[in-house]
Amino acid sequence: MTTKLKSLSICILLIGLGACSSKDHPKNDSAVEGQTAASSEALQNDIAASTVIVPKAQISPDQSLRELQLSDILAYHQIRYPTKWEIEGVGESTFNGNYDLIHPQLNLAPNQIFVIGNQNHDPQDNYLFIDMTNDEYFKYSNNMAINNIRYMKAPHIEPKQEFEKTQDYEARVQQEKQNAESKVTDYDLKLLEQVLNRSVRDIYLSHSNASYEYDADHEQMTVRYGQDIRSVVFMESEVIFKVQPELAKQIAEHFIQLRLGYVFNFKNNQLSLNGVFFYFNQPGNHDRRRNNIVDVMYVSPVFKPLSFKQRSAVELARQSVDDAFKQLKTMPFQDVSHAPVWNFKFGLDNYLSPETLLQKYPKPVIPEEPEELDYIPVEE
């Protein structure tokens, strides 16, 4: 079974109005078109340069810290920090084709990214959601991106073999380091997009106690949805956006099939919310040979929120507070459209290295049991 991106027209569900007709577009003057192309190319170059968060030359290789030692600290002090297996997996195809199917349909600008999450991610691993009431999600993803580059810069090199000359061994080490360096990229917007998606689970409306309301007179739709751990909701969101009745009806009719994604703008190493969109993947029909199924990805336009609010009891859940869910229901919603989280700057200034973590939180010392126990005879 293979997956192919199927071209979608305006007539198919949830595609923006007026997108498929070219007869209404005026002809371009050739001279103006040439100037526009040159200006566009210059703009693209400027944007490409501005989307490098940290050049790879400024990031040092990993010091091969023991993963077991770091894991012990994280568990003991209840710290969120990317694990080695997460760092190793950055860049792998973990979205089951959803990313590649959605990306061409969003028509994003070079300084924009989208986040749909990872449907294979278990939020119990790091207690992270797309939670804008604090900056934990951004800090975690920033650490993961930088550690990924550090990991890639320091390849695992087999020790010197018994019959290997020292000169040959040193040449092999140098070659493997060069090979690793050639594969490393800058910490750029693409890598940031990868780690932001990998750090959290996707938002499936049918699994999140979601609901909607539509005000036809004002053409406004309100969507409420939760994010859960083991079927217990610890965070709730409410987004209000403007949408025409025809499209609102389509969203409502397919509501339980929909998943939700975010589009972010990037500027000066900071993110801002551009909008939300809905999508769902539906298997198509077998071809004539019945050995190939074409998956169709339906993607809505990106809606700019009129209002975006959240409330979160994730920290309470992480601290194993028994009534975290009940406390969530008593919390007021926060307007996160202009929350402090948007002031977070990605890069080295807000990076927490494993070395710093080990210094700040020493590994707990567990008393060793004596090898032999001396038994005191009991007098009868």
Q: Tens of pLDDT along 15-42?
A: 443 333 233 333 443 333 343 344 445 4
Across 28-37, 152-161, 305-314, 352-361, least confident range: 28-37
Q: How confident is the model at residue 75 (pLDDT cuts 50, 70, 90)?
A: confident
Token readout for 315 is 């920290």
| pLDDT of amino acid 67 | 64
Across 280-289, 296-305, 351-360, least confident range: 280-289
CA angle 325, 326, 331 (to 5 degrees): 95
Smallest CA-to-CA distance from 311 within 326, 329, 293, 287 is with: 329
pLDDT of 262 strictly over 90? yes
Across 47-61, 115-129, 178-192, 247-261, least confident range: 47-61
Q: What is the mean pLDDT of residues 83-104?
A: 77
Q: What is the mean pLDDT of residues 121-142?
A: 94
Q: What is the mean pLDDT of residues 223-241?
A: 94
| pLDDT of amino acid 208 | 73
Q: What is the mean pLDDT of residues 305-316?
A: 95
Q: What is the mean pLDDT of residues 188-203?
A: 94
| pLDDT of amino acid 281 | 84
| pLDDT of amino acid 40 | 45
Spell out the alpha helix ranges (H) of the chain. 30-50, 67-77, 84-89, 98-106, 136-153, 166-183, 189-198, 245-253, 314-318, 324-330, 354-360
| pLDDT of amino acid 2 | 38
Write b or e for each residue in 322-355: b if 16 or more Cβ atoms lie within 10 A of its Cβ, otherwise e: eebeeebeeeeeeebeebebbebebeeeebbbbe
Smallest CA-to-CA distance from 309 within 177, 156, 95, 131 is with: 131
Q: How confident is the model at residue 43 (pLDDT cuts 50, 70, 90)?
A: very low
Q: Which residue is it, tokens 């997956």?
A: 3
| pLDDT of amino acid 64 | 66
Query: What is the pLDDT of the chain when averaged over all its residues?
Result: 82
Q: What is the mean pLDDT of residues 169-192?
A: 90
| pLDDT of amino acid 129 | 95
Comparison of pLDDT for 368 and 354, the residue scoring more: 354
Comparison of pLDDT for 68 and 246, the residue scoring more: 246
Q: Which residue is it, tokens 């490393």?
A: 184
Q: How far apart are CA 63 and CA 81, in angstroms?
A: 17
Look up the pTM and report it.
0.81
Q: Tens of pLDDT along 99-120?
A: 888 999 999 999 999 999 998 8
Q: Which residue is it, tokens 């390849």?
A: 155
Q: How confident is the model at residue 187 (pLDDT cuts 50, 70, 90)?
A: very high
| pLDDT of amino acid 362 | 75
Q: How confident is the model at residue 58 (pLDDT cuts 50, 70, 90)?
A: very high
One-letter amino acid at 247 equals L
Comparison of pLDDT for 379 and 154, the residue scoring more: 154
| pLDDT of amino acid 371 | 66
pLDDT of 288 strictly over 60? no
| pLDDT of amino acid 359 | 84
| pLDDT of amino acid 293 | 63
pLDDT of 343 strictly over 90? yes
| pLDDT of amino acid 306 | 98
